[in-house]
Amino acid sequence: MSRSTISPTTHQLKNHTSVTQTIRHSLTMAYRGLLKIRRTPEQLFDVTLQPIIFTLMFTYIFGGAISGNVHNYLPVIIPGILVQTVITTSIVTGVQLREDMDKGVFDRFKSLPIARISPLAGALLADTIRYTIATVLTFTMGYLMGYRPDGGIGYVAIAGLLVILCSWAISWIFAFFGVIARTASSVQGISMLVLFPLTFLSNAYVPVKTMPDWLQWFVNINPISHLVTAVRELANSGVIGWDLMISLIGSAVIVLIFAPLTVRAYMRRT
Amino acid sequence: MKTDDKWAVEAHGLVKTFGENRAVNGVDLTVPAGSIYGVLGPNGAGKTTTIRMLATLLQPDAGSARIFGHDVVKEPQIVRQLIGVTGQYASVDESLSATENLIIFSRLLGLGRAEAKQKAKDLLEEFGLTEAARRPLKHFSGGMRRRLDLAASLIAQPPLIFLDEPTTGLDPRTRNQMWETIRRLVDQGSTVLLTTQYLQEADELADRIAVIDKGQVVAEGTADELKASIGNSTLHLQIKNPEDTAVARQRIEQVLQVQTKMSSLDGKITAPMTDADRVTDLLISLREANIHLAELSVQKPTLDEVFLTITGEDQSKESSKKTKNVEEVSA
Ligand SMILES: Nc1ncnc2c1ncn2[C@@H]1O[C@H](COP(=O)(O)OP(=O)(O)OP(=O)(O)O)[C@@H](O)[C@H]1O
Ligand SMILES: [Mg+2]
């Protein structure tokens, strides 16, 4: 054959992807996620409306009964709603991942010499923008209703970051459901089934003392309760306590378990 | 690191089973570097499944495959650096624009920000998509999407390109453009493995063709070899005066030493042509007998016939027998 062929030896070929490359690929994938959000801003409806509606609704329904009046209830309910709203938002990550993975573009991602984890990590990273929006809106709603956290703006920011970080960690669980489930709506179903009891059987809305003993036992070991307590301590009194540590450790454990599981399932899926 | 320059693809005994269904059932393929290789087969033959295994998108259940000497199972990340894949269905991001798609793929392939932008611009220009570059793909026509898909596979200038039915659903003009592009790729030194259901396409484009059916390679060779494998050319004669037909057939059988057939539809006589030289004798003999011809033609077997002969034997025996009886009255 007279024509010259592109020689495969001109590249330096390696069979593994370095950590730096993995991070770069994940950031590119996150950029793709942000572009998609910008193209379809209507998918931000839930993170915009939920904090507004929930904050108004729960505060006025429970305020009088639990804390005597609405104003005294705000330091209790705002951290509670913040945690619940942002974590619920992370379900969307799993659902959208499922929808996304069914599209042909994921075939191309699989055929590219990139780290297997990067399409997943990128999608999850891009979704932290949603958590940020929900966080800012919840605190803003609280402020408008008269919430003045004693911890000050610095600790409120730390509390917000903590919630965003924990939700990102938890979204790996839903990403796992997203990868193994057959349809997007089943992801939604399973995830709600897991999350609904977890968020309500916690100290997010109601003081634990008012519950029966057996329920107190569960509420006290529920990781959501620890996160809510950590946020309350940070925002209301500027305290960095044990609950913060527990939340961070719990998040790390979730990521260490579910990130490899999710990537493995993603690679096995054809 | 050992890299084999001679064979772009070497696959042995590839098997993939989906439940009970053996979609690919022991496929062997060897694709020489620098050529266009066509994989031809009817719906459900296992073309896409084969390509997906070669492109590391699917793990084979048995058998092995090497891309330029690198095993697809053991060294998938190396193989991915050597290939570009354009799947049967669009593998670009619907919600983004053409430019955004190409920039993201370029960045993933290690190009810098500015390089990626330039690459996207160049490719869009090359594939005539510049005008539509900023529109979301939702508003793209099938042909534009297909071209973008191909462009995305060429960013890294991979030595081997897989194209799964690159022209299905394209109008004739766009199809010709796609053929041009594919030829240009090979001129620039790439190897192309494409699948198709169109025999004409395999005939036009491919240096070698593998016909697969029910998960197995049932024939392999150049288009000419495949055609030759099912027989000779045939001579078609139309006699001016129908009354002379019987005499004409006698003469033909005498001179060519073959059996003739006659089509009941248009009254044409057909005869297998083993030796083209003898046709001269035949024409002289017909002139001597004062038989005048209305039409004379030689037909090579088409790839269609090859395809139907090889792939359709079992299921179409019944129906083809019937149509043959209608068309031809044997001597
Ligand atoms: N993911 C899958 N799960 C189950 N069965 C599958 C899957 N992919 C393909 N098959 C089956 O494997 C067989 C071969 O399919 P394949 O897509 O490889 O055929 P093809 O030659 O590409 O056909 P077409 O010309 O229609 O694209 C078919 O019977 C198909 O139903
Ligand atoms: Mg196919």
Contact A105 B92 (CB under 8 A): yes
Contact flag B189-A270 (C-beta cutoff 8 Å): no
List CB contacts (< 8 A) between A34 and chain B. none
Residues 6+ apart with CB under 8 A from B1: A13, B78
Average pLDDT, integer, range A90-99:
89
| Residues A211, B54: Cα–Cα separation, whole Å | 60
Q: How many CA atoms lie within 13 A of A19 on its CB side?
A: 0
Q: How far is residue A214 CA from its own chain's centroid?
A: 29
Nearest to A14 by CA among B81, B73, B83, B85: B81
User: Of ligand 1's atoms, which has the minimum distance to the CA of residue B212?
Assistant: 21
% chain B with pLDDT above 70: 89
User: Quick check: CB of B175 below 6 Å from ligand 1?
Assistant: no
Q: Give the domains, in start order, of chain B with CATH numbers.
A: 7-95+136-228 (3.40.50.300), 232-300 (3.30.70.1150)
Q: Is residue A251 part of a domain?
A: yes
CB contact under 8 Å between B77 and A8, yes or no, is no
Q: Which domain holds residue A74?
A: 10-269
A3 assigned to some structural domain: no
- The whole-angstrom separation of Cα A12 and Cα B281 is 66
Segment B154-163, tens digit of pLDDT: 999 899 999 9
The number of domains in chain A is: 1
Task: For residue A177, give Cα distances in angstroms to A98, A106, A219.
Answer: 9, 17, 25
Inside any domain, residue A4? no
Interface membership of B230 toward A (CB under 8 Å):
no
CB-CB under 8 Å, A35 with B108: no
Tens-place pLDDT, residues A187-203: 889 888 888 888 889 99
pLDDT value for A6: 62
On the question of pLDDT at A227 being above 60, the answer is: yes
Residue A145 domain-assigned (yes or no): yes
Q: For all residues of chain B together, what is the average pLDDT?
A: 85
A261, A120 contact by CB (below 8 A): no
Pick the atom of ligand 1 nearest to B42's CA.
25
Q: Rounded mean pLDDT of B190-213?
A: 90
Residue range B246-263: mean pLDDT, rounded = 85
B-chain residues near A5 (CB < 8 A): 5, 33-34, 159, 189-191
Place of tokens 């060897």: B30
What chain A residue is nearest to B102 in terms of C-alpha separation? A32
| B:260-319 residues touching chain A, CB 8 A cutoff | none
**Predicted confidence (pLDDT) at residue B119 exceeds the cutoff of 90:** yes
Comparison of pLDDT for B91 and B48, the residue scoring more? B48
Q: Which residues of A touch B85 (CB under 8 A)?
A: 107-108, 111
- Closest ligand relative to B14 C-alpha: 1
Please give the Cα distance from B12 to B37 (Å, whole number). 16
Contact B49, B127 (CB under 8 A): no
Q: How far is B129 from chain A (nearest CA, A)?
A: 19
B163 with B192: CB under 8 angstroms? yes
Q: Among the listed ranges A4-13, A32-41, A259-268, which one has the minimum average pLDDT value? A: A4-13
The Cα–Cα gap between B168 and B43 comes to 12
B44 CB under 6 A from ligand 1?
Answer: yes
Strand B208-213 with B261-263, pairing:
unpaired
d(CA A205, CA A208): 9
In the prediction, which pLDDT does B6 show? 85
d(CA A110, CA A98): 15
* 3-class DSSP assignment, residue B185: helix
What is the distance between the alpha carbons of residues A107 and B319, in angstroms, rounded to a whole number? 40
Closest of B212, B207, B232 to residue B222, by C-alpha: B207
Rg (CA), chain A: 21
Cα separation of A217 and A247, whole Å?
18
> Rounded to an integer, what distance in angstroms lies between the CA atom of residue B33 and that of residue B8?
5
d(CA A59, CA A71): 9
Give residue B133's pLDDT.
86
The closest ligand to the CA of A269 turns out to be: 1
Residues from chain A that touch B189, judged by Cβ atoms under 8 A, are 3-6
CB atoms B189 and A3 under 8 Å = yes
On whether residue A188 sits in a domain, the answer given is yes
At residue B123's C-alpha, the angle toward residues B121 and B129, to 5°, is 80
Q: Is the CB of B43 under 6 A from ligand 1?
A: yes
Interface membership of A104 toward B (CB under 8 Å): yes
Task: Judge whether B242 and B73 are in contact, CB under 8 Å.
Answer: no
Pairing relation of β-strands B208-213 and B36-40? parallel
Closest listed residue to residue B170, CA positions, set B193, B142, B198:
B142
* Residues listed for chain A: 270
Cβ within 8 Å, pair A9-B3 = yes
Residue A87 falls within a domain, yes or no? yes
Q: Which two tokens stand for residue A45?
A: 């409806």
Intra-chain end-to-end CA distance of chain B, in Å = 66
Tell me which of A131-145, B154-168, B241-255, B310-324 is least confident.
Answer: B310-324
Cα B35 from Cα A2, distance rounded (Å): 12
The Cα A17–Cα B75 span in angstroms is 12
Distance CA B265, CA B272 (A): 19
Residue A2 maps to a domain:
no
- What residues of chain A lie within 8 A of the CB of B160, using their CB? 8
pLDDT per residue as tens digits for the range B271-283: 887 777 888 888 9
Is the Cβ pair A7, B159 closer than 8 Å? yes
Any domain includes A56: yes
**pLDDT tens, position by position, B122-151:** 999 988 888 888 888 888 888 888 889 999
Q: List the single residue in A3, A17, A270 with the smallest CB-CB distance to B187.
A: A3
Q: Check CB contact of A15 with chain B, cutoff 8 Å.
A: yes
Atom number, ligand 1, closest to the C-alpha of residue B46: 18
Query: Which span out of A2-16, A92-106, B6-20 was modeled with the highest average pLDDT?
Result: B6-20
Q: Nearest chain B Cα to A119, which residue?
A: B108
CB contact under 8 A, B159 and A16: no
For residue A155 the two structure tokens come to 């600790």
With 70 as the cut, is the pLDDT of residue A2 above it? Answer: no
**Is residue B315 scored above 70 in pLDDT?**
no
* Residue B227 vs residues B12, B306, B309, B324: alpha-carbon distances, Å: 25, 6, 11, 20
pLDDT score for B28 = 94
CA angle A217, A223, A227 (to 5 degrees): 120
